[in-house]
């Protein structure tokens, strides 16, 4: 069974909108992502939940997210988010790691091509938000053809 890693911020949930909202609400805070509660309250990206649930039936799927080192609450808040938007069993497939190249798998879906080891990931990087993979329908259509039954 093939293994897929999926980034959280910017791929499963709308981190950018929450970051900008936090920045506007707390201009005195240097790192808006350090506000407690920001990660727990992120809005899902359109199509993400359904796409991941579909992929979970066809492959070994993990959420691979870099925690915010500016916000130690991000570790627990990301865990809470996964249970609230998926289910408790899927929380066991949450991996928080700043070095994504250390994990072995077939696919990594990420909105960045570099910065956390994405460019050194041994499998195929699916650059979410790119011209080729602008959204979840494009990603799932591609993976339906690549995942072995």
In this predicted structure, the answer to whether residue 31 has a pLDDT above a threshold of 70 is: yes
What is the reported pLDDT for 149? 65
In this predicted structure, the answer to whether residue 146 has a pLDDT above a threshold of 90 is: yes
- Domain CATH number, residue 115: 3.40.50.1000
pTM (2 decimals)? 0.94
Q: Count of domains in the chain? A: 1
The residues, any chain, with a CB within 8 Å of residue 27's CB and separated by 6 or more, are none
Q: How far apart are CA 116 and CA 118, in angstroms?
A: 6
Q: How far apart are CA 136 and CA 51, in angstroms?
A: 7
pLDDT tens readout for residues 106-126: 999 999 888 888 999 999 999
Q: What is the largest CA-CA distance in the chain?
A: 52
The residues, any chain, with a CB within 8 Å of residue 1's CB and separated by 6 or more, are 59, 60, 148
- Where in the sequence numbering do the catalytic residues fall? 7, 9
Q: Please choose, from the candidates 142, 86, 99, 124, the residue with its C-alpha nearest in 3D space to the C-alpha of residue 3.
A: 124
Q: Which domain holds residue 136?
A: 3-146
């Amino acid at each position: 069974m093939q293994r897929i890693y999926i980034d959280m911020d910017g791929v499963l949930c709308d981190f950018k909108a929450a970051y900008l909202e936090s920045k506007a609400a707390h201009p005195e805070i240097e790192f808006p992502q350090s506000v407690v509660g920001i990660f727990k309250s992120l809005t899902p990206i359109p199509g993400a939940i359904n796409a991941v649930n579909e992929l979970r039936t066809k492959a070994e799927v993990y959420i691979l997210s870099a925690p915010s080192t500016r916000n130690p609450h991000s570790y627990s808040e990301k865990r809470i988010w996964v249970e609230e938007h998926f289910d408790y069993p899927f929380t066991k497939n949450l991996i928080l790691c700043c070095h994504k190249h250390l994990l072995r798998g077939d696919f990594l879906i990420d909105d960045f091509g570099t910065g956390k080891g994405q460019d050194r990931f041994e499998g195929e990087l699916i650059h979410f938000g790119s011209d080729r993979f602008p959204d979840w329908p494009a990603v799932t259509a591609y993976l339906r053809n690549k995942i072995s039954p």
